[in-house]
Chain A
Amino acid sequence: MKILITVLCLCFTITTFSQNYKFGKVSEEELEEKICSIDSSANAAYLYKYRKSFFEYNKENGFELKTEIHERIKIYNQEGFDFATKQIRLYKSGGAEERISGLKAYTYKLENNKVVGEKLDKSGIFKTEASKYSNQVKFTMPNIQPGCVLEYKYEITSPFASKVDEFVFQHSIPIKKVEASFEVPEYYNFKVNTKGFLSVKPVIESGRGSITFTNTARSSNSYYQLEQKSFSTSKVDYSKQINKYSLDNIPALKKEPYVNSINNYRSSVKYELSYTKFPRSATEYYSTTWEDVVKRIYKSSSFGEELEKTGYFEKDIDALIGAVSNPAERANLIFNFVKSQVKWNGYYGIYADDVKKAYKNHVGGSGDINLMLTAMLRYAGLNANPVLVSTRSHGIPLFPTREGFNYVVTWLRLPDDSVMLLDATDTYSVPNVLPFRALNWQGRIVAKNSGSGLIDLYPTTKSKNAMTMMVKIDEEGTLEGSYRSVKTNHKALSFRNKYNGADKDAYLEKLENKYGGIEVSDYQVKNDKDLSKPIVESYKFIKESQADIIGDKMYFSPLFYLKTNENPFKLEKREFPVDFGYPSTTSYKLIINIPEGYKIESLPEATAIGLPENMGTFQYKVIGNAKTIQVLVTSKLNQSIISSIYYEALKEYFNKLLQKETEQVVLTKA
Chain B
Amino acid sequence: MLKKYITVFLLFFYISSYSQSKIYTSLTIPDNLTEHANAVVRDNTIDIVLESANEMHVKERRVITVLNKQGNRTTHAYVHYDNNEKIKELQVIVYNALGQQIKKIKKNEFKDVSAVDGGTLYSDSRVKYLEYTPISYPYTMEFICETVTSNTAFIKPFNPIDSYFLSVEDSSYSIEFPEGITIRTKEKNFNEFDLEKQELANKFSFKVSNIEAFKPEQYSPFYTLIAPRVLVASNKFSLEGVNTQVENWNDFGKWMYHDLIKETHDLPLETKTEIQNLVKGDTSQIEKAKKVYQYVQDKVRYISVQVGIGGWKPFNVSKVDEVSYGDCKALTNYTMALLNEVGVESHYTVVYARKSQRSIEKDFASMQGNHVILNIPRQNEEDIWLECTSQKLPFGFIGDFTDDRDALVITPEGGKIVHTKKYEEEESLQSIKGKCSVSNEGAIEAKVISVSKGIQYDDKYYLATETERDLDVHYKKRWKYINGLTIQEMSLNNDRDSIEFIEDISFNASNYSKVIGNRMLLQVNALNRNTHIPDRYRNRKLPLQIKRGFKDIDEVEIRLPSDYKIESQPENVSIENKFGSYKMTLEVTDENTIIYHREFTVKDGDFPKEDYAAFRGFYKEVSKLDNAKIALIKK
Q: Do A and B come from one complex?
A: yes
Instruction: Identify the A interface with B (CB < 8 A).
Output: 41, 77-79, 81, 84-85, 121, 124, 126, 128-132, 136, 138, 140, 142-145, 254, 343-346, 361-363, 501-503, 505-506, 508-509, 512-513, 516-517, 519, 544-545, 548, 550-551, 553, 555, 565-567, 570-572, 601-602, 655, 658-659, 662-664, 666
For B628, the closest partner residue in chain A by CB is A548
Chain A residue nearest to B537 (CB atoms) is A509
Q: How far is the CB of B56 from chain A (nearest CB, A)?
A: 26
Residues of A within 8 A of B481 (CB): 565
Between A and B, 21 residue pairs with Cβ closer than 8 Å are A77-B465, A81-B301, A129-B112, A129-B113, A130-B113, A130-B114, A132-B111, A138-B122, A142-B325, A143-B324, A145-B299, A343-B134, A361-B135, A501-B137, A503-B36, A505-B538, A509-B536, A544-B620, A555-B516, A567-B483, A664-B516
**Which chain B residues border A550 with CB–CB below 8 Å?**
521, 567-568, 629, 631
Closest to A252 in B: B467
Which segment, of B282-290, B395-403, B471-479, B545-553, faces chain A?
A: B471-479
Considering the complex, which residues of chain B in the window 495-509 have a beta carbon less than 8 Å from any beta carbon of chain A? none
Q: Are B121 and A513 in contact, with the CB atoms below 8 A?
A: no
Closest Cβ of chain B to A448, distance in Å, is 30
- B42-70 interface mask toward A, CB cutoff 8 Å, 1 = contact, 0 = none? 00000000000000000000000000111
Q: Are A516 and B533 in contact (CB under 8 A)?
A: yes
Supposing A512-B536, A666-B517 touch, asked if A517 and B323 sit within 8 A by C-beta, the answer is no
CB distance from B317 to the nearest CB of A (A): 15
The minimal Cβ–Cβ distance linking A152 to chain B, given in whole angstroms, is: 15
Is B465 a contact of A142 with CB atoms below 8 Å? no
Give the chain A neighbours of B391 by CB distance below 8 A.
Answer: 78
CA distance A443 to B537 in the complex (A): 46
Residues on the B chain within 8 Å of A84, using CB: 301
Do residues B476 and A662 form an inter-chain contact, with CB atoms below 8 A? no
Interchain CA distance A669-B468 in the complex, whole Å? 50
- Please state if B323 and A124 are interface contacts (CB–CB under 8 Å): yes
B111 touches A343 (CB 8 A): no
Tell me if A601 and B323 are in contact (CB < 8 A): no
Flag whether B609 is at the interface (Cβ < 8 A): no
Chain B residues with CB under 8 Å of A555's CB are: 516, 521, 629
Q: Are A346 and B631 in contact (CB under 8 A)?
A: no
Query: Do residues A41 and B483 form an inter-chain contact, with CB atoms below 8 A?
Result: no
Contact B514 A664 (CB under 8 A): yes
Cβ of B272 within 8 Å of any chain A Cβ, yes or no, is no
Whether the Cβ atoms of A545 and B324 lie closer than 8 Å is: no
Q: Does B413 have its Cβ within 8 Å of any Cβ on chain A?
A: no
Q: In whole angstroms, how far apart are the Cα atoms of A344 and B538 in the complex?
A: 36
B79-116 residues with Cβ-Cβ distance < 8 A to A are: 103, 111-114, 116
**Cα-based distance from A553 to B629 in the complex (angstroms):** 12
A362 to B133, CA, bound (A): 9
Closest to B124 in A: A128
Q: Say how far B475's CB is from chain A's closest CB, in angstroms.
A: 10
In the complex, which residues 476-530 of chain B have their Cβ closer than 8 Å to any Cβ of chain A? Answer: 476-477, 480-481, 483-484, 511, 514, 516-517, 519, 521
**Cβ 8 A contact of A666, one of B121, B322, B477, B516:** B516
Cβ of A81: which chain B residues have Cβ within 8 Å of it? 301
Q: A129 contacts which chain B residues (CB < 8 A)?
A: 112-114
Residues of A within 8 A of B538 (CB): 505, 508-509
Residues of B within 8 A of A145 (CB): 298-299, 324
Contact indicator B473/A571 (Cβ below 8 Å): yes
Residues of B within 8 A of A571 (CB): 469, 472-473
B489 to chain A, nearest CB (A): 14
Answer yes or no: B355 CB below 8 A from chain A CBs: no
In the assembled complex, how far is the CB of residue B206 from the closest CB belonging to chain A, in whole angstroms?
A: 29
- Please report whether the interface of chain A is mostly helix, strand, loop or mixed according to DSSP: mixed
| B215 touches A (CB below 8 Å) | yes
Known contacts: A145-B299, A601-B517, A659-B511. The answer to whether A570 contacts B476 by CB under 8 A is yes
A135 vs B481: C-alpha distance when bound (angstroms): 49
Task: Evaluate whether A502 and B301 lie within 8 angstroms (CB atoms) in the complex, with A346-B133, A655-B484, A664-B514 already known.
Answer: no
Is residue B76 contacting chain A, with contact meaning CB distance below 8 A?
no
Cβ-neighbour of A662 out of B114, B480, B514, B536 (below 8 A): B514
A601 and B519 CA atoms in complex are apart in Å by 12
List B residues 596-635 near A (Cβ within 8 Å).
Answer: 616, 620, 623-624, 627, 629, 631
Asked if B114 and A128 make an inter-chain contact with CB atoms under 8 angstroms apart, the answer reads yes
Q: Cβ of A517 and Cβ of B114 under 8 Å apart?
A: no
**Contact: B299 with A659, CB < 8 Å?**
no
Q: With A and B bound together, what is the CA distance between A63 and B133 in angstroms?
A: 40
Please report the C-alpha to C-alpha distance between residue A513 and residue B216 in the assembled complex, in whole angstroms.
14
Q: Are B514 and A663 in contact (CB under 8 A)?
A: yes
Question: Which residues of B lie under 8 Å from residue A503 when comparing CB positions?
Answer: 36, 38, 68, 165
Give the docked Cα–Cα distance between A512 and B538 (Å). 10
Q: Is the CB of B301 within 8 A of A551?
A: no
Residue B144 is within 8 A (CB to CB) of chain A in the complex: no
CB distance from A491 to the nearest CB of B (A): 21
**B535 touches A (CB below 8 Å):** yes
Given contact pairs A502-B68, A509-B538, A548-B629, a sample of 7 additional A-B residue pairs in the complex whose CB atoms are under 8 Å apart: A79-B465, A128-B114, A505-B36, A506-B215, A517-B533, A517-B620, A565-B481
Inter-chain CA distance A655–B509, complex, in Å, is 11
Alpha-carbon separation in the docked complex, A126 to B307 (Å): 11
B129 to chain A, nearest CB (A): 11
State whether B517 touches A131 (Cβ < 8 A).
no
Closest to A658 in B: B483
Kindly provide the distance from the CB of A552 to the nearest chain B CB, expressed in whole angstroms: 10
**Which residues from A are CB-within-8-Å of B624?**
545
Q: Which of A126, A512, A664 has the most chain B CB atoms closer than 10 A to its own CB? A: A126
Contact check: which of B68, B325, B483, B627 meets A655 at CB < 8 Å?
B483
Question: Which residues in window 126-168 of B have CB below 8 A to A?
Answer: 131, 133-137, 165
Complex partner residue of A142 from B323, B472, B567, CB under 8 angstroms: B323
**B594 at interface by CB-CB < 8 Å:** no
B303 contacts the other chain (Cβ, under 8 Å)?
A: yes
B362 at the interface (CB under 8 A from A): no
The answer, yes or no, to whether B392 is at the interface (CB within 8 Å) is yes
A121 to B473, CA, bound (A): 42
- Complex formed: what's the CA distance from A457 to B86 in Å? 50
Question: Is the CB–CB distance between A513 and B484 below 8 Å?
Answer: no
| Nearest CB on A from B412, distance (A) | 30
Residue of A nearest to B325 (CB): A140
Whether the Cβ atoms of A143 and B323 lie closer than 8 Å is yes
In the complex, the answer to whether B484 meets A85 with C-beta atoms within 8 Å is: no
Contact partner of A343 (CB less than 8 A), chosen from B135, B392, B467, B473, is B135
Q: Are B536's CB and A363's CB within 8 A?
A: no
Nearest chain A CB to B109's CB is how many angstroms away?
12
Closest Cβ neighbor of B480 among chain A residues: A566
Query: A85 and B121 in contact (CB under 8 A), knowing A346-B133, A505-B538, A658-B483?
Result: yes
The chain B residue sitting closest to A654, CB to CB, is B483
- Which 5 A-B residue pairings sit nearest by Cβ, starting from the closest? A345-B133, A126-B122, A362-B135, A142-B323, A41-B467
Complex Cα–Cα for A544 and B536 (A): 14
- By a CB distance below 8 angstroms, the chain A residues around B483 are 567, 655, 658-659, 662
Chain A residues contacting B113 (CB-CB under 8 Å) are 129-131
A344 to B136, CA, bound (A): 11
Partner of A128, one of B122, B392, B537, B616: B122
Q: Which of A78, A344, A509, A655 contacts B392 (CB 8 A)?
A: A78
Contact B631 A553 (CB under 8 A): yes
Which residues of B lie under 8 Å from residue A548 when comparing CB positions? Answer: 521, 627, 629
Given the complex, which residues of A lie within 8 Å of B472, measured CB to CB? 570-572
The docked-state distance in angstroms from the alpha carbon of A193 to that of B537 is 55
The one of B137, B215, B323, B469 in contact with A41, judged by C-beta atoms closer than 8 angstroms, is B469
**Least Cβ–Cβ distance between B312 and chain A, in angstroms:** 19
Name the CB-closest residue of B to A659. B511
Complex CA–CA separation, A341 to B481 (angstroms): 48
Interfacial chain A residues near B629, Cβ < 8 Å: 548, 550, 555
> Would you call B301 and A78 a contact (CB within 8 A)?
yes
- B468: chain A residues at CB < 8 Å are 41
**How far does the alpha carbon of A551 sit from the alpha carbon of B570 in the complex, in Å?**
10
Provide the residues of chain B in CB contact with A570, threshold 8 Å.
Answer: 472-473, 476-477
